[in-house]
Amino acid sequence: MSSKLNFYIKKIEEISSDDNNLSKELIFYLKEKLGLSDISIFIEDYKLSKEEKNSINYFIEQKKNGVPLDYILQNSSFYNNDFFVDERVLIPRPETEILVDYINNLNLSPGIKILDAGVGSGCIGASLAKANPKTIVYGLDYSFDALKVANINKKKLELDNFYLINSKWLNSLKENTFNIVVSNPPYIAPFDSHLDKLKHEPISALVANKNGLEDFDIISFQAMKVIKDDGLLAFEHGNNQSNEVKKIMTRYGFKDINLINDYQSQPRITIGRK
Ligand code: GLN
């Protein structure tokens, strides 16, 4: 095997299709994982060590199997923090930062209680806890595997105001407890074609029955009980689900429904008040 970087960059381009940019990802990987500098990468005769070659071959093998870069690096950058991620949790998406930002920009009084329902990696709950150290944030998940990852991130971000709970949605929680419930629940319909591209992510974090809407229904019903009067429920949802989500929330009594668009101007976040 060659010791030249260019050899690998060429090799990776061979398995690259139009809709992925593997050589760019490889360069990012070389910098992040192997600590190589631009100079090492772009000066042609940089000689790779045996470990570096093994690492690159590992990257190429993973990429042949379609593994997303964040899983290979076991790191995802979200809302200015680095999160540990692996195949037990969904990779945080940039749209979700809009949801976090919205909550962050509310006037969060000290001591208020926020619940992240379906915490996954913890990207929403832990980001809120980090940015608002005087609030108390609870992250709930049914998956123990997800809670283990969220706990890694709790430690990584050194949070002492972020608590993890194992529960099937909110049915084990006390009434009139939370000021804000936020959730990015599974919302893809079973057999939706988008799932083909998400085969490395946990299916339980992606798919919901009733055409992807079932969990909005369950959470809205339960949130009406556990949210304090005047508290908020905020959902991230699919770009074609805003009307349905609004209907569901209204049915359970939420009012002042507000809709926020993502970076592609698609309606992706719905907020209501109890
Ligand atoms: N709350 C996590 C996130 O936004 C997990 C979401 C999920 O698993 N559906 O990434």
CB of 153 closer than 6 angstroms to any ligand 1 atom: no
CA of 4 to the centre of ligand 1 (A): 40
- Amino acid 25: pLDDT: 87
Is the distance from CB of 162 to CB of 114 less than 8 angstroms?
A: no
What is the distance between the terminal CA atoms of the chain, rounded to a whole angstrom?
63
Spans of all domains in the chain: 5-66, 92-273
Give phi and psi for 258, each to the nearest 5: -125, 140
| Structure tokens belonging to residue 180 | 């804000």
In terms of residues, how long is the chain?
A: 274
Separation of alpha carbons 160 and 158, rounded Å: 7
pLDDT tens-digit map of 134-191: 999 999 999 999 999 999 999 999 999 999 999 999 989 999 999 999 999 999 999 9
Query: How many other CB atoms are there within 10 angstroms of residue 238's CB atom?
Result: 19
pLDDT tens-digit map of 190-234: 999 989 889 999 999 999 999 999 999 999 999 999 999 999 999
| Structure tokens belonging to residue 194 | 């988008």
What is the pLDDT confidence band of residue 106, given thresholds at 50, 70 and 90?
very high
Ligand 1 atom nearest 99 alpha carbon: 4
Separation of alpha carbons 195 and 71, rounded Å: 17
What is the pLDDT confidence band of residue 35, given thresholds at 50, 70 and 90?
confident
Percent of the chain whose predicted confidence (pLDDT) is above 70: 97
Average pLDDT, the chain: 92
CA of 118 to the centre of ligand 1 (A): 6
**Max CA separation in the chain (angstroms):** 66
pTM above 0.75, yes or no: yes
CA of 184 to the centre of ligand 1 (A): 5
Separation of alpha carbons 32 and 186, rounded Å: 30
- Amino acid 266: pLDDT: 93
Choosing among 1.20.1250.20, 3.40.50.150, 3.40.50.300, 3.90.180.10, the CATH entry for 92-273 is 3.40.50.150
What is the pLDDT confidence band of residue 49, given thresholds at 50, 70 and 90?
confident
What is the pLDDT confidence band of residue 1, given thresholds at 50, 70 and 90?
low
CB of 186 closer than 6 angstroms to any ligand 1 atom: yes
b/e sequence 191-216, b meaning 16+ C-beta within 10 Å? eeeeeeebeebbeebbbbeeebbbbb
Ligand 1 atom nearest 96 alpha carbon: 4
